[in-house]
Structure 1
Amino acid sequence: MGHNLSLVDTDFYTEVQLKSPAVQPAALRDDAVTPSSTKHTLRQAQNVQDSLEDEDGCSPPNLTETDCPYFSDFPEEEAVEDFNPSKFICSAQAVSCDLRQRKYDIPFKTRSAPESTLVLELEKVLVESSLIPQPDAEFTFLAPFQDTYYKVYVKLRPHAREFLETVCKIYEIFVFTTAKKEYAEKILKFLDPQKKLIRHRLYQKDCVCVSGQYVKDLNVLHRDLAKTVALDTVAYTLPFHLTNRIPVRSWLGNQTDKELLTMLPVLEQMTHMDDVRQVISHQFHVDELVAS
């Protein structure tokens, strides 16, 4: 189909190195960030993990240092816990539908909206956020953390806006992220200031808590899942809908990256399928993700 990905995502089996807090700080002053201060910031963020969890005791899914969902450039730390994505998916799939049912104020699809739906994660798919000052950052913002504001550096993935401008013509676009609303909204305001490209936005509060982790349930969209495609760098954030997900390579700052352009013909072809789940399941060998 023109998208030459390995059948099983390489990062799917990567050992988890840190437990990502819901919001992780970056230093307010450029000259305040040093390797030692960054390590201190990381330890501080890990120490306040419990205070950042919601009332259900949830946190964003555990990821490696290179796939941290909010900021990159973390120093290497020893694994704080073992995490098996395959086992997690299996346990998540056993969760009762009754426990997953929540009411959301998602607008009904309008007549002018494209028939197909596209669900996007932010970090490593469309942007990269960093703790370390980035001279080529496209914008910065301040994030509150324990009564202090910290500076966040964000870079857009190459061709991100071109990608959105193209696919919004054939897909109704949702951004569905495990990030907190206060954090994600700042990035979305820069990415789509007129709100003409991304029709709907869902955040951490719209996720489901499974075994202490935030995951996304596409049923909350109230859209035809036979016509719904999700792009995400990892599978275990979508444990209930593996056959709706097309894997996308994580973006780590390479300015020659063309992954989003490569995805365009794949997504265009998906709009012609009666049921994208059958195609994705066959093309990407989804059954291997939960194989014992």
Structure 2
Amino acid sequence: MMSGMGTFLVYIWGSPVVDLNGNSIRDEFSDLPLFRQYFNRTLQGINDMNKMIQEPSREKLLPDPMQEPYIQPPYTLVLELRDILVHPEWTYETGWRFKKRPGVEFLLHHCAPPLFEIVIYTNEGGFTAYPIIDHLDPNGYVWYRLFKDSTRYVEGKHVKDLTCLNRDLNKVICIDWDDNAVSTSRNHLGLKRWDGNMEDQSLFELGFMLRTIAESEVSDVREVLDYYRSFDDPLAAFRENQRKAHEHELLLSQKTQAEKQYNKVATSWTPSFLRRR
């Protein structure tokens, strides 16, 4: 039974390609003995299928950066869809549906061009993800959408290969809850996996954090991400740093005001003939 099935597959996969008139088209196996021709074509077909499954669908997942007079945002923001922006839930009343995380609109709006070009890069299939993204992003802030066929299949897992984005990795930030789902860990910022809790505020804080990074015009975002990955909660660390920065600015402002007030008082008590004319 199995040998018969194998012979059938070799016959189907190993047959030469024919033209419109039914004539065989020569290939690199045409000069081999007949069995070797069929066997080698079958192996090639299997290898091509494995490559199609395991590797991204194309070498460059995004088109080349835009040139003047068009505006190319300096940074690229890559977002996972499932459990970052939406969460699947099932009920008897509705069946499966995707719940939107609080702050999705805020995040997209605050990171929209000209700061970032936004890419949703997900392990979901395009048939499932495309209408969800349409619903999440009516304003078109998301420039590109990459699905499961754009991932690299490694050891039973679909991995986002950021080296295929056709972008400078110094300027790429990828947000995902799975540390192992991104090929280049230095470009990855982990966010807590959303379980559907509508009290969650993470995307609001993330929007502030990403906008601050972009407006700071850092030359290599990976150095910033390296720092924040050293904390268990990067968003909490960013919030604490912002609080300290605000306190520092407040102290500087108070110091400046005190110095101005002191100079004003000192001037008023200085005899007129000692004042600089």
TM-score (ref. length: structure 1): 0.55
Is the aligned partner of 1:225 residue 2:169? Answer: yes
Q: Which residue of 2 aligns with 1:157?
A: 101
Aligned partner of residue 142 in structure 2, secondary structure: coil
Which of the residues 104, 109, 112 maps onto 2:65? 109
Structure 2 matches for 1:2-13, cutoff 5 A? Answer: none
Higher helix share: 2
Aligned partner of residue 179 in structure 2, secondary structure: coil
Alpha-carbon distance between aligned partners in 1 of 2:89 and 2:52, rounded to the nearest angstrom:
23
Alpha-carbon distance between aligned partners in 2 of 1:208 and 1:105, rounded to the nearest angstrom:
12
Whether contact under 8 Å (2:61, 2:164) holds in the other structure is no
Structure 1 segments unaligned to the other structure (5+ residues)? 1-54, 61-98, 135-139, 141-150, 287-292
Aligned partner of residue 199 in structure 1, secondary structure: strand
Cα distance 1:131–1:232, how it changes in 2: closer, same or farther (>3 A)?
Answer: same
Which of the residues 137, 143, 146 maps onto 1:199? 143
Q: Which residue of 2 aligns with 1:32?
A: none
Cα distance 1:57–1:213, how it changes in 2: closer, same or farther (>3 A)?
Answer: farther
Which of the residues 110, 121, 130 maps onto 1:176? 121
Whether contact under 8 Å (2:110, 2:211) holds in the other structure is no
Aligned-residue offset at 1:273: 1.4
Q: Which residue of 1 aligns with 2:195?
A: 252
Aligned-residue offset at 1:237: 0.3
Q: Which residue of 2 aligns with 1:16?
A: none
Cα distance 1:105–1:119, how it changes in 2: closer, same or farther (>3 A)?
Answer: closer
Cα distance 1:237–1:58, how it changes in 2: closer, same or farther (>3 A)?
Answer: farther
Aligned-residue offset at 1:281: 1.8
Cα distance 1:249–1:59, how it changes in 2: closer, same or farther (>3 A)?
Answer: farther
Alpha-carbon distance between aligned partners in 2 of 1:121 and 1:105, rounded to the nearest angstrom:
15
Aligned-residue offset at 1:126: 0.5
Whether contact under 8 Å (2:175, 2:190) holds in the other structure is yes
**Which letter does structure 2 place at the counterpart of 1:127?**
V
Alpha-carbon distance between aligned partners in 1 of 2:109 and 2:196, rounded to the nearest angstrom:
21
TM-score (ref. length: structure 2): 0.58
Alpha-carbon distance between aligned partners in 2 of 1:214 and 1:205, rounded to the nearest angstrom:
9
Using CA pairs under 8 Å that are at least 6 residues apart, name the structure with larger relative contact order, 1 or 2: 1
Cα distance 1:133–1:267, how it changes in 2: closer, same or farther (>3 A)?
Answer: farther
**Which letter does structure 2 place at the counterpart of 1:197?**
Y
Alpha-carbon distance between aligned partners in 1 of 2:61 and 2:77, rounded to the nearest angstrom:
18
Is the aligned partner of 1:273 residue 2:223? Answer: no
Q: Which residue of 2 aligns with 1:210?
A: 154
Cα distance 1:209–1:174, how it changes in 2: closer, same or farther (>3 A)?
Answer: same
Alpha-carbon distance between aligned partners in 1 of 2:229 and 2:62, rounded to the nearest angstrom:
30
Q: Which residue of 2 aligns with 1:24?
A: none
Q: Which residue of 2 aligns with 1:86?
A: none
Which of the residues 180, 193, 207 maps onto 1:236? 180
Whether contact under 8 Å (2:82, 2:88) holds in the other structure is yes
**Which letter does structure 1 place at the counterpart of 2:190?**
P
Q: Which runs of 4+ in 1 moved over 4 A?
A: 57-60, 99-102
**Which letter does structure 1 place at the counterpart of 2:146?**
L
Aligned partner of residue 214 in structure 1, secondary structure: strand
Aligned-residue offset at 1:103: 2.1
Residues 54-93 of structure 1 deviation map (CA, whole Å, 9 limit, x = unaligned): x549999xxxxxxxxxxxxxxxxxxxxxxxxxxxxxxxxx
Q: Which residue of 1 aligns with 2:235?
A: none
Alpha-carbon distance between aligned partners in 1 of 2:92 and 2:169, rounded to the nearest angstrom:
40
Aligned partner of residue 178 in structure 2, secondary structure: coil
Aligned-residue offset at 1:116: 0.6
Count residues with an aligned counterpart: 178
Q: Which residue of 1 aligns with 2:206?
A: 263
Residues 188-232 of structure 1 deviation map (CA, whole Å, 9 limit, x = unaligned): 1211245x1100000000000111221010122111110111110
Whether contact under 8 Å (1:59, 1:213) holds in the other structure is no
Whether contact under 8 Å (2:89, 2:96) holds in the other structure is yes
**Which letter does structure 2 place at the counterpart of 1:253?**
G
Is the aligned partner of 1:189 residue 2:143? Answer: no
